[in-house]
Structure 1
Amino acid sequence: MQIASPLINELQCGERLNHAIEHGRRGEFALLLAMLSQDARDMAQFTLGEEGTVDAKLRRQFELPPAQTLVADVADDSLVNNGGEFHELGLRGFALQQALKPEALVTRGPISVTMLDALNNTDPLCKSRYLEPQHPALPEIPHFNDRLSGQLALAQRMAQA
């Protein structure tokens, strides 16, 4: 059975914890406690509220632009490539374009293979935190035989060309 969203803190349970204690339903109470996050930072008293993260507060306070993206997804349509400006306008044109629209430091797929292995061994709350709303499901890792057959087919196509 898949749950729609994992329980994070006791505020999401509402009155269910109180009713379970009041009516002596120890099993339901234990189940609700087991479903809560084990991380102390998720407790209701430690939430930041409306302000957001410390980084966002500092950016607003000092009126800083958004941070340069460190890793870009290859499949993303909004990928910035300033290589053409370097060839057309030279180093100064490239530097100007990089200042206006900086490209990411590293361009690769959305999730590395080692991180996928780690995420497959974590709880759903940890997965949802890492993946964020823009990546709702984990991509499937191809089986070793599928990778091997794909490489063999690529090698045969390269040999024919």
Structure 2
Amino acid sequence: MQIEFPLVNELQLGNRLNDAIEHDRRGEFGLLLSMLSIDARDMSQFQLDKELNIDEKLYKSFELPKKQQLVCDLSQQEAVNNAQEFQRGGASQFHLTQALRPEAIVTRGQYQDDMQIVLANCDELTKLKHKQSVPEISEINQIHFLDQLTTQRKISETLASQLYAVA
């Protein structure tokens, strides 16, 4: 008789071990245990963090906080600001909050400082061109020119009637 896949740890057995103990089936219990791997590294408690790299495993095993973020990009996430904690509770409260939720050393936007100054002085269309997300003009071209003029005339008449009504 060939086994389709070898048993490695007790998680693969599910409740079969428990059922064998509960119903006093010593033979089945012994057979199931003998089919498991004899290597202790194959046990389920050592298989939990397989996808983590060595740094993440050490951070998790020693229960260390996350690394302090050096640069915070405001376009991607919200910046952590612990200044309120300093004003409310003083230096000790600030140090505690800084240890739990460290704020970044440098906070900036998506671009370098020089580029942000330049983009702040540009119009919206130039900013969109820089991001390479220029809106398509085809929606405007779909409406016939005479229909556009009619719509503009109706809007101007409505505004004029509202102005005369107020005066």
- State the TM-score, normalizing by the size of structure 1: 0.34
- Greater Rg by CA: 2
TM-score of the two chains, using structure 2 as the length reference? 0.33
Asked which structure has the greater RCO (Cα within 8 Å, sep 6+), the reply is: 1
